[in-house]
Amino acid sequence: MAEQDDRIIQETGVEARIAQIIGPAVRGAGYQLVRIRLSGQTGMTLQIMAERPDGTMTVQDCEELSRLVSPVLDVEDPIDKAYTLEVSSPGIDRPLVRKSDFDVAKGHLVKIETSILVADRKRFRGRIAEIDTDGVTIERDQASYGDEPMVKVPFDALAEARLVLTDDLVRDALRRDKKARQEAKKNRGHDSAETDETESDTDDTETDS
């Protein structure tokens, strides 16, 4: 059975239909959906934001994913107008759509919008202080008079969440990207070594025979 979409913030309407259509192909190729957005009335653009599980997404990855989902969209044809397909990475000031995204972003500044009132508000800005199974606790950076400095936003109330670009966020993102690329390079080297060893064993067998 194909792995299900584990995002806690998902699309609605046509965008949800698109996510359902391309989801299996995206996950099957080793990527994770971040967000789908259909924008524009004339000259429509379908933006598919995705990444690998380690958070990386190269230009080559975007091109590969575009080639994978294009024929799927052509067959299902969920959009009744001409559009331009755009596949992109989430970027540094990325949307947070999974619980794991909030874990990785702990300590950083975030903007949150909710679908219902939480502590008499629907918009919050602050640093991610804690994450548990039910929600995320924000330490407000611009609390109004009478507001509690800390507020817990339930995951099921989230409508949108996005990191705010700061120097600390840039440094952290660059550090994590460097580490992920080093790990990927290390894994590629390990796979190459295993291939060489297999080929060597094959050669020995052929020589003995």
Residue 168: which domain range?
Answer: 92-188
For residue 139, give the CATH number of its domain.
2.30.30.180
One-character DSSP codes across 74-104: HHH---SS-EEEEEE---SS-B--SHHHHHH
Segments in 29-142 forming alpha helices (H) = 59-76, 99-104
Enter the tokens of residue 3: 């792995």
List, for residues 142-179, the tens digit of each pLDDT value: 777 778 899 999 999 999 999 999 999 999 988 988 88
Kindly report the number of other CB atoms within 10 A of residue 29's CB atom. 15
* Arithmetic mean of pLDDT over the chain: 89
Residue 7 forms part of a structural domain: no
Instruction: Tell me: pLDDT of 29 over 80.
Output: yes
Residue 62 forms part of a structural domain: yes
Residue 136 forms part of a structural domain: yes
Number of domains in the chain: 2
- The rounded distance, in Å, linking the Cα atoms of 12 and 159 is 11
**Amino acid symbol at 201:** D
Instruction: Tell me: pLDDT of 209 over 70.
Output: no
Task: Find out whether 199 and 191 touch, Cβ atoms under 8 Å.
Answer: no
Q: Write phi, then psi, for 130 (nearest 5 degrees).
A: -145, 155
Model-level pTM? 0.84
Residue 138 forms part of a structural domain: yes
